[in-house]
Amino acid sequence: MAESLDPHRAESSDVDPPVQTAQPTRRRLAWLRPPVMSPDGRMTLVDHFKELRYRVILIVLLILVGMGAMAFFYQELYAFLLEPYMRAVASINASRPDQEVLVVNAGVSAPMTLAIKIVAIAGAVVTSPLWLYQVWAFLAPGLLAKEKKWAVAFIAAGVPLFLTGVGLGYWILPKGLVVLLGFTPQHSPVANMVEMVPFLNFMLQIMLVFGVAFLLPVVIVALNFAGVVTGKQLGAARSYAIVGTFVFAAVATPSTDPISMLALALPMALLYVVAEIICRGNDRRKAKRNADDELLDSSASGTPGD
């Protein structure tokens, strides 16, 4: 009876609980979109992190799409990566037919691991123009117009040099394999067994080292344009730099054979000399421009009687 006479309790019992509405999909996915930049181009620290998150997610998605596309060409990619080894084996069989060389997959999961690795690398390489643009789009707003111009110039010079180094590493690899596998004594009952996954890692290291080494002139010229080094200083240190290229080639090449070392050190020494010539020309242009500026300043500050 007391509960039926309480008007507040009766009124509260008639009120329906609030209905939980589903959040729109557009709002749930809003964090995937880049932050809106203000008209003056300024962004807060939080907005910068949101922009970075957006670019990283986009890069991952691009590489995943590239992996899916390259999965259809796995057989061709496998044959392409195995080609240096096959050329080395053909050369060994021609000179030493008694020596046995085998390529194997060690372990049950090794073929799957190898397939994933090959497809991932190929997907990253094929989509590199797209995800490198995302990196550039994140960095470019913080650069001045002059800095953007020089950055584009250095990228335009660095990409062909890097690809040239990678191609040279791919070409020199069979010759290095012949030298390394040739240390097995003749008429030996021992067979050389090369595992595919370590061989792929070895091959990628060779190609990456050659590609990065060919970026040496780009780094030197960039330091010269920034005023860190001059062409005269590079000329004075030329002999030390050339010795340094041979030391770097001996340490950086995972094969440690003399052919790979010379194939890396000689182009690096030549590229150093080319970079020195470019830097000397840039120094002469700087000196001429400074002399012209001083002449204009002296003419502008001259007395009327002069």
Tens digits of residue pLDDT in 11-58: 545 555 555 555 555 556 566 666 666 666 677 777 778 888 888 999
Question: How does the average pLDDT of the chain come out, rounded?
Answer: 81
Tens digits of residue pLDDT in 263-297: 889 999 999 999 999 999 988 988 888 776 676 76
* Alpha carbon 248 to chain centroid, angstroms: 20
DSSP-derived secondary structure letter, 189: S
Q: Helices 74-95 and 196-213 sit at what angle, rounded to 10 degrees?
A: 90
What's the pLDDT at 274?
A: 93
Tens digits of residue pLDDT in 102-153: 888 887 888 898 899 999 999 998 998 888 888 888 888 777 788 788 888 8
Structure tokens at 289: 């421009």
Alpha helices in the chain (DSSP H): 2-5, 7-13, 25-28, 45-70, 74-95, 110-126, 128-139, 145-181, 196-213, 216-225, 231-236, 238-252, 258-300
CA distances from 59 to 21, 65, 127, 148 (A): 34, 10, 9, 22
Query: Which residues, other chains included, contact 62 with Cβ-Cβ below 8 Å and sequence gap of 6+?
Result: 127, 130, 131, 134
Report the alpha-carbon distance of residue 173 to residue 206 in Å, rounded. 8
Report the alpha-carbon distance of residue 86 to residue 95 in Å, rounded. 14
Amino acid of residue 263:
A
Report the alpha-carbon distance of residue 5 to residue 290 in Å, rounded. 99
What's the pLDDT at 74?
A: 92
Half-sphere exposure of residue 10: CA atoms within 13 angstroms, side-chain side: 7
pTM of the shown model: 0.75
What is the average per-residue pLDDT within 94-108? 80
What's the pLDDT at 1?
A: 46
The strand pairing partners of 194, in sequence order, are 103
Structure tokens at 215: 């970026």
SS3 track for 64-117? HHHHHHHHHHHHHHHHHHHHHHHHHHHHHHHHCCCCCEEEECCCCCHHHHHHHH
| 166-172 contacts, C-beta under 8 A, 24 or more apart | 166/207, 166/208, 166/210, 166/211, 168/210, 168/214, 168/263, 168/267, 169/206, 169/207, 169/208, 169/209, 169/210, 169/211, 170/84, 170/203, 170/206, 170/207, 172/206, 172/210, 172/259, 172/260, 172/263
- pLDDT of 67 higher than 90: yes
Percent of the residues in the chain that have a pLDDT greater than 70, as a whole number: 82
- pLDDT of 77 higher than 80: yes
What's the pLDDT at 195?
A: 86
What's the pLDDT at 120?
A: 92
What's the pLDDT at 15?
A: 52
Report the alpha-carbon distance of residue 236 to residue 262 in Å, rounded. 23
Q: Is 192 left (phi over 0), alpha (psi -120 to 50) or beta?
A: beta
Half-sphere exposure of residue 99: CA atoms within 13 angstroms, side-chain side: 20
What's the pLDDT at 50?
A: 82
